[in-house]
Chains A and B, each alone.
Chain A
C-alpha cells in the first residue's frame, strides 16, 4: 500500500477529492428531493451518473498509481469528467421547473419546501461543477511519479 501511494504525485489526490465532491453533490441532491412533492424528474439518472463519476474518478486514481499516467488512465479520467459534467446538465434540466416557480416568479417564493428544493438544487449543481473542474484541473498534471 505504501508503495502505491509513493507512486502518486500530489495532483493525483485531486481525483479522490473529485470523487468525494461528487458524492457530496449527490447527497445534496438527495436533500433537495426530501419533500415528496419536489422530487426532481430524472433523479435516478443523475444518481447513476454520480455513482459512475465516483467510480471513474476513483478508478483513475488507482490506475494512475498502478499503471501510471498512460492512455487508459487518461481515458478513464476524461470519462469521469464527462460523466460529472452530465450530472450538471441533467440536474440543471431537472430543476428548471422549481427555479421558475421560486426565482423567476412569485408562485412558490417563500414556501420552504420549494425554496429548499430550489436552493439545494443549485448547491448540488455548483458542487457537481466543482467536482468536474477539480477533475479537469487534475488532468493537466502528471499523476504518477513513475510517469515523470
Chain B
C-alpha cells in the first residue's frame, strides 16, 4: 500500500489536477450557495422547505398564543376548518355573483327565460365554438336545465374542429394573427364533417344559444385596425367576425328564439345584434369559465334567477368613436435613444406614423426578418422598452358614457356644435357627418334589463350641511311593476351646470355622472321599497385646476336622477328641463325620476364656491399637486384638450390628418430631465447632508420592545418610534425595500418576516390550496372584477372581500395584490378583466366594499395600480399626460373612495384601506412611484392614507432613494434572500430627510402587519430563526468537502513536488 502511495507521490501532476478540479468544484458550490440564498423564498416554495421559521413561545407577558383573526363560523365544524363547507361557500357566492352580475341587454318577445311545457325541459341547440369549445362548463350546466342537441355538441367535440378567441394577454411578441385572429369553424367546415348536422335542429328548436368570446389579459392590448384578423372584419378584433355572423345567421334562419351571450370584458361592437329582430335576447355574462359561473348563467337562462346587473362600460357601435381612441397606442418619443428607450423601428400598419402600430421588425437566427407584436414586459426602468413611450389623454373627462351622454345632451340642447362630426378617416371611418346618439350607442353604462319591470321615483331630498361637507339624503321609491320577483340597482346620477366660469377656465362638466348606488332587496310583484340614499356632494364637485386650483361648485340649477343607466337618467333630467323627442331626444324621460335643486352656497363668490370642498376629509387644504401631469406645464410644449364648449374645434384629431397633432414628441429640457428619472434631489456621499441633520436620525437603540408587543397598536402609539429606532440602518433598508413576496426578518425588533404576499390577483391557485375540498372554490379562481362591479351590489362585493379575507387567514398570506381600480378608458385596454369599470364611482365603491370585507379578516389588500394604468402597451414608464381635473375626477376618484372608506368611519376610528400598489407608468414625465404630489400630497396628506405602499414588481428600483422621499413604500421584491440593493447603504445614509422618510415607511408597514392576520402567529416572544434545510446542508457539505479536498490535494501536491525534487537531486 505504502509502495503504491509512494508511486503516486512521485507524480505531483495528479495532485495538481485534483487541486484544480476541487478548486473548480469549490467555486461552483459557492455559486450554488449564493444563488440558493439569494432566491431562498422561491426555493422554499418550489421545494416545500422553510429556510426561516417563526418561533413563538409562551412567556409571562403573553401566556397563551392568541389568534388575532379567526375564520368565519360558516366554514368551521367544531372549530376546525371544514374544507367542504369552505368550498361550498365559495361556489355559492360565485354563482350568486353571476346571477346578479350578468346583464340582460335585449329580450324581445319574452325570449328569456326559457321554460318548457310542464315538466319538459326546453330543447336547445348550442351553436358556435364559443360555447362548445371555449365554455364547456356552460354547456354542462345548460345540460342540467335544458335538453341539449347532442348532434351539434358532438360535432364540435369530436371533429377536431378548432376554436380560439382573440386574446391579447401575455402576447409577448407573438404574431398579430396569434393574438387577434378568431378561429371559429364556418358552416362549410361544419358541413364538411357532418353534411346533415342541421337536420337535428328540428328536434331541438326551442332556442339556439351562441356565445361570443373575446379574451383579456395583462401584457398587451387590443389593437385598432384589422391586421391579424380574418378578412371582412370592420375596424378591429372587437367587431364581429364573418364566421361569427354566419353562425348567428344560421341560428336566426332556423330558430325562433336566438340567444347570444357575450363573454368578454372588452366592449365589442354589437350593433348588429341589437338591430337584428331575429336575435331575441342578448346577455353579457362576464368572462369566467368556472362551474359556479356557468351554474349562475344556466339559472338565469332557465328563469331560476332573474337578471339584475347593469353594464359597467358603454357598448358603442364603433369602438373607435370615443375621443380617447385618438390617443391610444404606442407613441414613441422622437429622441427615443436619448431618453433610454429601445432603439427599435416601429413599422407596419397602424393608425399613423410612430403611433399605434406597435410592431417591431426583427431578424431571427436564420436571417429571416419578420414583425412581432411588441409588448411591454419588465417592471424595471432603463431596460424596459416601454420607457420610450407617451400618451396624451386629450379627451379629458369625455370618455365612455361621459362622452356619449354629454354630447347627446348638447345635441338635444343644440349647442356647442355637438351635432357636427369631423375627421372620420382611416380606422375612424364613418360615413355619417352628423352626430346622432342612436347611431353611436348600442347599450350604455348602467343599462340592464330584468324579467320584470320597475318604476323608480325620487320622492324627497333633505340635507346635512357642514363647513366642508354637504350630504344629500335622497328618498327613492322602487316598485316592481312586473309579474315576477326581482332586484334592481338604484343608480343615482347628477348633473351640474356648465357655466361661463367653467368655459373660461376650462372646467369641464359631464352632462351626467354616477354619484352613488344601492340595490333593492328581492321585490315581489307590486312590492315597493323605499330607500334613503346619501349623496356626498364632494362627488359632484368639479376640480378647477386653472383658477381656483381646488374643487368648486358653481351656483345654479343641479339635478339628481335615477334610471336604468346613464342615458335613462339623463333623459329623465331632460324631461324636467322640458325637453321631449321633438327636441331630438330618442325617447321621452320621466320627470318623477329626476329632482331639481339649487346650489347657492353662502361662500360663493361670483357664482363659484371654492371654499366648501377645498378641504379634504382629513382636514387638509386641497390644491394643485400634479404639476407636469399636463403637457402644457412643460415650457415649450402645448396641446389642446377636448372642451365641451367646442366639440368640433377641440375634438382630438386623427394623427393621419392633423398637422398639429403631437405624433412625434421630443423630450427636451425639463421633460427630458423628468423622463430620464431625475425628480427629487438626494444627498449622496459627494454632497452629504449636514452632520446635525444626520445626527438626529438614530439607529440601533436599546429597547425591550418587540414587534409582537405592538399587536393591534394604534398608528399613533408612542412605542413605534422606540421600536423603529432599535433597527440598524441595514435592517431599515431591508424592510423598506422588501415589500412583497419575501420579507427578511428584522431580528433587532423580533419581526419574523416570511413570504407574505400572494402571487396573482387572488389567493394562491387551486392546485396548492389545501383548505379547499378537491381544489374547488378558491377565491383566486374568480377573476371577474368587472362582473362584481356590474352587480351594482355593495353587499356582494363586501361578501366577496370577506371570502378573500378568510382565504387569507387560512393561507397564512396576509397580503393580496387586489382589487384593480384603474379605469376602462377605452374598450381596447387588455387588462380590463382585472379592472372593473369605466366609471370611478362604481369602481371606487366596489373596491371599497371588497377591501373592507377583507379588512375585517385582517387581510391587507393593495388596491392597484396607483395610478393611470390605462393601457398595457408601453405601460412600463409610458408618460401619461392629462389635466389635473381629469386625474382627480376620474381615476384618482376611484382610488379615493376605496382608500378613504368614509362610509365605515366612526367617531372612534378612521377606517381605510391598508394597502396600495403603484403603477408602472409615469404621470406626465414623472414616474408615479416617485411622484411626491401624488403619493405625499394627495394620497398621504389629502386622503389621510396610512398603510402599505408597494411597487409593481421591482419597478423603478434604481430610483429607490427618490421613491422613499416621495412617499413610496418599497418593492414587490420576489425574494427575501436577494439583498443586492441592500448591501450598499451608501445610497441612503447621507440624507437625513430620506432616512426619516424610511423610518416612516417602516412605521406604516409594521403598523399594518400588527393590525393584520399576520399576528395570528406572532406575539412578543416571536422571532425568526434560521433553519437548516436539506439544500442548505447540501451546499455546505459541498463547500466543506471541496474546500477540504482542495486543501488536502494542494498540501499533498506541494509535498509531492518536494519529494520529487529531492528524488531528482
Contacts and interface: CB of A to CB of B under 8 A. Distances in A.
B23 interface: yes
Interface in A106-141: 106-112, 114, 132-133, 135-141
B979 interface: no
Contacts of A69: 13
A100 to B, nearest CB: 8
B35 to A, nearest CB: 7
B982 to A, nearest CB: 16
B978 to A, nearest CB: 9
A143 B13 CA distance: 9
Contacts of B384: 37
A143 B362 CA distance: 49
B824 interface: no
A133 B170 CA distance: 41
Contact of B377 (A93, A96, A107, A135): A107
Given A36-B343, A139-B16, A142-B13, A133 B24 contact: yes
A49 B364 CA distance: 31
B413 interface: no
B23 A85 contact: yes
A112 B342 CA distance: 13
B378 A107 contact: yes
Contact of B383 (A38, A77, A88, A89): A38
Contact of B34 (A77, A93, A111, A112): A93
B547 interface: no
B385 A37 contact: yes
A64 to B, nearest CB: 11
Given A139-B20, A140-B13, A110 B174 contact: yes
Interface stretch (B25-33, B401-409, B665-673, B786-794): B25-33
A102 to B, nearest CB: 10
B377 A89 contact: no
A89 B385 CA distance: 29
Contact of A136 (B12, B14, B24, B1053): B24
A47 interface: no
Interface residues of A, number: 38
A69 B15 CA distance: 13
B23 A82 contact: yes
B7 to A, nearest CB: 14
B364 A82 contact: no
Contact of A140 (B14, B24, B28, B174): B14
Given A89-B30, A108-B378, A139-B13, A37 B342 contact: yes
Interface string B883-911: 00000000000000000000000000000
A37 B183 CA distance: 36
Given A93-B31, A142-B13, A110 B172 contact: yes
A101 B377 contact: yes
Contacts of A46: none
Given A93-B34, A101-B377, A136-B21, A37 B16 contact: no
B17 A112 contact: no
B173 interface: yes
A133 B28 CA distance: 12
Contacts of A141: 13, 17
A125 to B, nearest CB: 10
A140 B19 CA distance: 9
A71 B35 contact: no
Given A71-B1057, A106-B172, A111-B172, A139 B383 contact: no
Contacts of A108: 172, 377-378
A77 B16 contact: yes
A111 B17 contact: no
Contacts of B342: 37
A71 B30 CA distance: 27
A106 B170 contact: yes
A28 interface: no
A56 B382 CA distance: 37
B173 A74 contact: no
Given A77-B20, A139-B17, A82 B172 contact: no
Contacts of B362: 112
A38 to B, nearest CB: 7
A107 B372 CA distance: 16
A129 to B, nearest CB: 8
Contacts of A70: 1057
Contacts of B14: 140
Which of B16, B377, B1057 has the most CB atoms of chain A within a 10 A radius of its CB?
B16
Given A96-B35, A101-B377, A132 B24 contact: yes
Nearest to A100: B974
A76 B340 CA distance: 43
A23 interface: no
B27 A86 contact: yes
Contacts of A140: 13-14, 16-18
Nearest to A96: B35
A92 interface: yes
A114 B35 CA distance: 21
Contacts of B172: 106-111
A78 B23 contact: yes
Contacts of A82: 23-24, 27
Contacts of A81: 20, 23-24
Contacts of A74: 12, 16, 1053, 1057
Contacts of A78: 16, 19-20, 23
Given A37-B383, A141-B13, A136 B20 contact: yes
A81 B21 CA distance: 8
Nearest to B11: A142
Contacts of A142: 11, 13
Contacts of B13: 69, 139-143
Contacts of A36: 343
Contacts of A139: 13, 16-17, 19-21
B28 A85 contact: yes
A77 B17 CA distance: 10
Contacts of A92: 31, 35
A146 to B, nearest CB: 11
A143 B173 CA distance: 52
Nearest to B31: A89
A104 B343 CA distance: 26
Interface string B542-583: 000000000000000000000000000000000000000000
Nearest to B171: A110
Interface string A90-105: 0011001000010000
Nearest to A106: B170
Contacts of B382: 37
A12 B515 CA distance: 84
Contact of B378 (A85, A101, A143): A101
Contact of B364 (A37, A88, A112): A112
Interface in B1019-1065: 1053-1054, 1057
A40 B416 CA distance: 57
Interface in A17-66: 36-38
Contacts of B31: 88-89, 92-93
Nearest to B370: A112
26 contacts: A36-B343, A37-B383, A37-B384, A69-B13, A70-B1057, A71-B1054, A74-B16, A74-B1053, A78-B23, A81-B24, A82-B24, A85-B24, A85-B28, A88-B27, A89-B30, A93-B35, A108-B378, A109-B172, A112-B362, A135-B20, A136-B17, A136-B23, A139-B16, A139-B17, A139-B20, A140-B13
Q: Which 4 interchain pairs have the tightest Cβ spacing?
A: A140-B17, A136-B20, A85-B27, A139-B17
Interface of B: 11-14, 16-21, 23-24, 27-28, 30-31, 34-35, 38-39, 170, 172-174, 342-343, 362, 364, 372, 377-378, 382-385, 1053-1054, 1057
Given A38-B383, A74-B1057, A107-B377, 19 more contacts: A37-B342, A77-B20, A78-B19, A78-B23, A81-B20, A81-B23, A89-B28, A89-B34, A92-B31, A93-B35, A106-B172, A107-B378, A108-B377, A111-B172, A112-B364, A137-B17, A139-B16, A140-B17, A140-B18
